[in-house]
Amino acid sequence: MVFANNLFINFMSSLKLLLIIILIGAIGFSVYYYWDDILKLFSVSQETIQTPQQPAETEKIKLLSQTKVFGYWVNETKNAIYALTENGKIISLRDGNEKNESDEIIANLVKLLPSADGRQAIIAFGNAQRPQFSLFNSTDNSWQPLPLEITNLTWIKSKTQLGDLIAFIDTKKGFSLEAIDLSKTNSTNTKLVNDLGLEDVEMTWSGNETIIFTERPSFSYYGGAWSLNLKDFKFRQIFQPEPGLITSWSKDGLSGLKFSVTLPNFYNLALTDNQGTTVKNLPFATLPEKCLLEKNAAYCFVPKEISEEWRLPDDYLQKTFYSNDLIYRIPAGEGETEMLLDASQDNIDGINPRRFEEKLVFINRYDNKIYSFELNE
């Protein structure tokens, strides 16, 4: 009886082993036979992968720089485009060629501030909250460090007796506003205001010896803007506090663009004068840094779509998203706003547009390279 039981147990074990072998063989055959179908089942098609697309050159959009840049400017004295690369070097662009203009490398870039004629440029670097400043001169490709006491500055864009720069100076007891003449070495700055009472602001030189101060923007922060007349040293509020307030100004400082938010998420853009008076409300929303403001017209890169989930300007400045732009021309006076190009299918997210040789030059945020758009005006 024990022998029979052992025989039965051995038989069942052999049967189980045989079934397992048959099952493994069947699975192996199925995998071999249907391998291509299995791969298709578990693989992800290229159509479902949303990879960043490279910008495409078109008949009207041309690539000017092979190097990624932090910023650029037009050097009118040399009729060339100068750029600060992402790794902190100065290059120039002429006739499709890139030339290294300086072996100096500036790390931890914060801001680029070119002079009105583009002959010089100031680079802010280091700590974003308290940067250092250095001056590049394209005449001899030299560098000049600026005093460490400077915490903020802007160029004087017209001829005055004040000098070249208006700067915030840390006096250890507060912040004074002073004028700096770069041609005078080891000279005393001209003190304009002893205790300014402003810190986290952007400064812009305006016409008629006026400086405009605008608080740094945020979607829900009510920021304001003030002007200071350097003839009578009177402050005047030109824009009442509004959420997301951003301003930018023309080269002569006499006209501006004003961006603001009407909560919860309606965006406003208007042409203004330097007294804060609205000249024209624009029929689209974009950020001022995506526009070039000239005497007779403005040129703007305008996102084709703005999601309700976006919070401008914060999400754009933090690169939460990239836009696909249309290019518009807006006349300063009478006349219709004109769409010059629909570049929304070409991965164009244009910022810092400038005019150069009848072209609209800009940085494309998709690859941080410099492109141009033929205006044909």
Has residue 98 been placed in a domain? yes
Question: Could you read off the pLDDT of 28-77 as tens digits, one per residue?
Answer: 444 344 434 433 333 333 333 233 466 767 888 999 999 999 999 999 99
In a domain, 133, yes or no: yes
Low-confidence ranges of the chain (pLDDT < 70): 1-54, 56, 185-187, 377
**207 in a domain, yes or no?**
no
What's the pLDDT at 27? 46
CB 195 within 8 A of CB 174: yes
Is there a domain that residue 175 lies in? no
Task: Kindly state whether residue 64 falls inside one of the protein's structural domains.
Answer: yes
The predicted pLDDT at position 300 comes to: 98
pTM exceeding the 0.85 threshold for the entire prediction? no
Q: Determine, yes or no, domain membership for 210.
A: no
Does 240 reside within a domain?
A: no
Give whole-number Cα distances, 38 to 33, 41, 234, in Å. Answer: 10, 5, 77
The pLDDT score that the predictor gives to residue 257 is: 96
**Per-residue pLDDT at 209:** 87
The total number of structural domains in the chain stands at: 1
Structural domain that includes position 74:
53-146
Give the model's pLDDT for residue 79: 94
Q: What are the residues whose beta carbons fall under 8 Å from the beta carbon of 253, sequence distance 6 or more? A: 157, 204, 205, 206, 207, 210, 212, 274
Per-residue confidence (pLDDT) for residue 14, from 0 to 100: 52
Evaluate whether residue 82 is within a structural domain: yes
Instruction: Count the helices and strands in the chain (H runs, E runs).
Output: 3, 28
Using CA atoms, how far apart are residues 183 and 243, in angstroms rounded to an integer?
Answer: 41
Over residues 233-257, the pLDDT tens digits come to 999 999 999 999 999 999 888 899 9
